[in-house]
Structure 1
Amino acid sequence: MKSRKVGVWLIGALGSISSMVVAGAAALRRGLAAPTGMVSVLEPFGRLDLAGVDRLVFGGCDIRAGSLRDEAWAFAEKTGALDQRILQQVEEDLLETDRHVGVGTVRNCGDAIRRMASSVDSPRVSVWEEIVRIAEQLRSFKRKTGADIVVVVNLASTEPPLAIDERHLEPDALERSIERNESEAVRASTIYAYAAIREGCPYVNFTPSNGALPPALVRMAEARGVPVMGNDGKTGETLVKSALAPLFVCRNLEVLSWEGFNILGNMDGAVLENSANRESKIKTKDGVLSRILGYTPHSRVRIDYVPSLDDQKTAWDFVHFRGFLGTKMTVQFIWQGYDSLLAAPLVIDLVRFAEFAARNGESGLMPHLASYFKEPLGVDEYRLQQQFEMLLDYARAFSGRKGLDGPSRKSATGVN
């Protein structure tokens, strides 16, 4: 219901995406911007009685010292992508969020992330003690803001992949490894997710970090009645891939190779310069094609850091395919955008859908949110239109009207 106050706890709260989520929600609340880029304002989703954007309160944690307000202003000044008059009018909201930002953890995040941290966890602190500390932050945030529920969203930098073994398959096994302080069995993302699920907070992993939701934590969420979903928000190149690749299937054209070249700035780009962290990102970006096409063409995704781009990212994709009588042809596209401004409206969507799922007694994975992720957990469907139909079907089922039409922009006022 729209009157419920929903706490939103952002991991990586001082990052560019978080700053645009908070500033964007405040701008919507004050009528300073339209909800362009948000799916949850379209019909039939407006009939779900999703939490109003004006009912969201923000906080979170970060490994760096600083200010969300300063990050938002730095974003606007460096990129020129945001009207600074909006920031002037939402400054109070940014400062209020700053009051609810605590210290995160860098456990097993890799050197690229550890170097950014203002302080490093003591090696004497156990995994369980870190979980307890994060859980207390969540309880404190909920208590101070008077939130009815807290939704946790992981927007932190990409971690190196976690090697999944038998400790990550069942809740009991993971709990035993934590009790024994087997630090190598977790990443920071595991700690955040464990704490969130333990506190009954719906959890969304918008990052490629696979340590966030191993099978054991998904099963724990199911058992505790907590909705969870991930991995890796789909905002740019992979979004286009998931829409374009079905074209070749529908026309029986053979994709010979699909090469992607990505350049980006900002802190995420800097972290992805490290090969260990980049491996996680490439895995989620490169897995879409074979799942849609049914075979594996030659495909390579390259990601390079270009500091001068700041928050901009550019992807150039070259598709080489074979048609009738063996003729070879090509498709090329360029995707350019501001990473944080593409992601922010999706994060607000996911918070609204996750809160709705919790309010309606759902638990475990939320497969209807597949269209938001590069590697949606528990979902075999990777075609964008079919993924979106899953979300439409979900809304239709709750509305009790199976014959609802597709989305309409007429519901844009539904964010209030």
Structure 2
Amino acid sequence: MNDRKIGVWLIGALGSISTTVMLGALALRKNLIGPTGMVTATEPFSRLGLAPVEIMEFGGCDVRRESLRDAARQIARETGCIDPAILNQIEADLALIDRDISPGTSRNCGEAIGRLAGEADPRNRPLREEIARVIGLLNDFKAAKQVQEVVVVNLASTEPPLEFQECHEDLPAFEDCLDRNENEAVRASTIYAYAAIQAGYPYINFTPSSGALFPAMVRLAEARRVPVMGNDGKTGETLVKSALAPMFMCRNLEVLSWEGFNILGNMDGRVLAHPENKESKILSKDGVLSKILGYSPHSEVHINYVPSLCDQKTAWDFIHFRGFLGAKMSLQFVWQGYDSFLAAPLILDLARLAEFAKRRGEAGLMPHLASYFKDPLAGNEHRLYEQFRMLQDYGTRAESAVLRSELR
């Protein structure tokens, strides 16, 4: 068994997804659950010598101040999906992780996230000073946990879209913006991404927040030899869309309309109830169809906050299409799932694959991870089966390289 020990530093560490990630990893460590939902537990990835989940160390930051143990209890209570015996056996471990969760920043993130942070969040630090603080947190975490690598994953609440400027296209120009302390050019996600990459740590943006991996930031990752990828984890409705939409292409059926209605609770839903935050999510979810079909049917994504649903998300999609002789037909599907339980194993996958990429000397965007994202930054492939083939091909090539190195 590979004994490579890595740290996973989660932005939004007290959120539902982060809590479920840590809860699940600890349960795996104690052999209380299996790796269902983890693609890296299957072949060929299981033969690559990926960093074991069982010895991962966790830390991170959050703008809220509460107990990770309380967050885990809340998820267990609201979903009813966690065996109380499992929670009892890992509560002490969750309490230990609390020590490694630091105060986050809500800089320039809008009213919804600002309210979560309260007045204690120092949003007026100079940008360079705030970046240095985050780099210090990351380096201290690595040293304290004695890990060989740290992977930074953004699981924070969705920010409003960042208004792109020329500086976001050019790295020297963006560095100048930071030097001039131009606050409007960044959001909190920008600070975290820049700090992680500058410190040399792989970075994953699992959120729709556009402030994280704009072109200048990708150039920085290439220059620093750091693998990065995003945006916006694909776990539910869009996952089904990317699997289903190619079917209409395969049968030369014309999609006339595709309406999607999403209702969800938890903190994600609460933040997305604000129009400026919802805009980021809709931009990410709504672009998939035209990229797969090659044309733009009438399509609209609706997202509504229903507090009583807690972590459960329901998506109802109505597809109106035209076939032979102009016959109009329809298809409907309903997806009901727990967002955090769908996302958590993917985060463990991404942490392992990002560390593996860094170990192999890869840098910049990781196109083979496209199947994990609604709006993948590398390439134009959005069909799920083709995206998964890219991941499988990468795994097969990497396995061959591992075998060759073992034979030397």
Q: If the length of structure 2 is used for normalisation, what is the TM-score?
A: 0.97
Structure 2 residue aligned with 1:270? 270
Judged with a 3 Å threshold, the aligned counterparts in structure 2 of structure 1 residues 122 and 33 are, in CA distance, closer, same or farther, namely closer
AA at the equivalent of 2:243: A
1:288 and 2:288 matched: yes
Paired with 1:280 and 1:21, the residues of 2 have a C-alpha distance of: 24
Structure 2 residue aligned with 1:116? 116
Structure 2 residue aligned with 1:49? 49
How far is the alpha carbon of 1:92 from its aligned partner? Answer: 2.2
Instruction: Give the secondary structure class of the aligned counterpart of 1:332.
Output: strand
Write out per-residue CA displacement over residues 306-353 of structure 1, whole angstroms, 9 at most, x where no aligned residue.
000000000000000000100000000000001110100000000000
1:216 and 2:216 matched: yes
Structure 1 residue aligned with 2:35? 35
1:305 and 2:300 matched: no
Q: How does 1:128-143 map to 2 (within 5 A)?
A: 128-143=128-143
AA at the equivalent of 1:57: E
Q: How does 1:234-273 map to 2 (within 5 A)?
A: 234-273=234-273
Q: Could you tell me whether the CA contact under 8 Å between 1:15 and 1:68 is conserved in 2?
A: no
Paired with 1:79 and 1:54, the residues of 2 have a C-alpha distance of: 25
Paired with 1:113 and 1:17, the residues of 2 have a C-alpha distance of: 17
Structure 2 residue aligned with 1:408? none
Paired with 1:237 and 1:124, the residues of 2 have a C-alpha distance of: 38
Paired with 2:239 and 2:270, the residues of 1 have a C-alpha distance of: 22
Q: Could you tell me whether the CA contact under 8 Å between 1:243 and 1:385 is conserved in 2?
A: yes
Instruction: Give the secondary structure class of the aligned counterpart of 1:65.
Output: coil
Give identity over the alignment, percent. Answer: 65
1:391 and 2:368 matched: no
Paired with 1:160 and 1:309, the residues of 2 have a C-alpha distance of: 24
Instruction: Give the secondary structure class of the aligned counterpart of 1:99.
Output: helix
How far is the alpha carbon of 1:124 from its aligned partner? Answer: 4.1
How far is the alpha carbon of 1:171 from its aligned partner? Answer: 1.5
Q: Could you tell me whether the CA contact under 8 Å between 2:168 and 2:216 is conserved in 1?
A: yes
Structure 2 residue aligned with 1:366? 366
Instruction: Give the secondary structure class of the aligned counterpart of 2:317.
Output: strand
Structure 2 residue aligned with 1:80? 80
AA at the equivalent of 2:399: S
Paired with 2:63 and 2:315, the residues of 1 have a C-alpha distance of: 29
1:354 and 2:354 matched: yes
Regions of 4+ moved over 2 Å: 118-124
Unaligned runs of 5+ in 1: 402-416
Q: Could you tell me whether the CA contact under 8 Å between 2:219 and 2:364 is conserved in 1?
A: yes
How far is the alpha carbon of 1:121 from its aligned partner? Answer: 3.7
Q: Could you tell me whether the CA contact under 8 Å between 1:106 and 1:120 is conserved in 2?
A: no
Structure 1 residue aligned with 2:405? none
Instruction: Give the secondary structure class of the aligned counterpart of 2:116.
Output: coil
How far is the alpha carbon of 1:118 from its aligned partner? Answer: 3.8
Structure 2 residue aligned with 1:59? 59
How far is the alpha carbon of 1:67 from its aligned partner? Answer: 1.1
Instruction: Say how many residue pairs are matched.
Output: 401
Instruction: Give the secondary structure class of the aligned counterpart of 2:117.
Output: coil
Paired with 2:139 and 2:177, the residues of 1 have a C-alpha distance of: 25
How far is the alpha carbon of 1:69 from its aligned partner? Answer: 1.1
Q: Could you tell me whether the CA contact under 8 Å between 2:100 and 2:141 is conserved in 1?
A: yes
Write out per-residue CA displacement over residues 122-179 of structure 1, whole angstroms, 9 at most, x where no aligned residue.
4541111111111111011111111111000000000000011211112111110000
Q: Could you tell me whether the CA contact under 8 Å between 2:105 and 2:122 is conserved in 1?
A: no
Q: Could you tell me whether the CA contact under 8 Å between 1:23 and 1:93 is conserved in 2?
A: no
Q: Could you tell me whether the CA contact under 8 Å between 1:2 and 1:55 is conserved in 2?
A: no
AA at the equivalent of 1:61: C
Write out per-residue CA displacement over residues 31-79 of structure 1, whole angstroms, 9 at most, x where no aligned residue.
1001111101111111211111112100000000101111001110122
Q: Could you tell me whether the CA contact under 8 Å between 2:208 and 2:231 is conserved in 1?
A: yes
Paired with 2:382 and 2:122, the residues of 1 have a C-alpha distance of: 42
AA at the equivalent of 1:148: Q
Instruction: Give the secondary structure class of the aligned counterpart of 1:346.
Output: helix
Q: Could you tell me whether the CA contact under 8 Å between 1:222 and 1:363 is conserved in 2?
A: yes
Instruction: Give the secondary structure class of the aligned counterpart of 1:362.
Output: coil
Q: Could you tell me whether the CA contact under 8 Å between 1:63 and 1:104 is conserved in 2?
A: yes
> Whose RCO is larger (CA < 8 A, sep 6+)?
1
Instruction: Give the secondary structure class of the aligned counterpart of 1:117.
Output: helix
Q: Could you tell me whether the CA contact under 8 Å between 2:107 and 2:123 is conserved in 1?
A: no
How far is the alpha carbon of 1:377 from its aligned partner? Answer: 0.4
Greater share of helix: 2
Judged with a 3 Å threshold, the aligned counterparts in structure 2 of structure 1 residues 251 and 186 are, in CA distance, closer, same or farther, namely same
Q: Could you tell me whether the CA contact under 8 Å between 1:13 and 1:62 is conserved in 2?
A: yes
Structure 2 residue aligned with 1:410? none
Write out per-residue CA displacement over residues 212-270 of structure 1, whole angstroms, 9 at most, x where no aligned residue.
10111101000101000000000000000000000000000000000000000000000
Q: Could you tell me whether the CA contact under 8 Å between 1:227 and 1:363 is conserved in 2?
A: yes
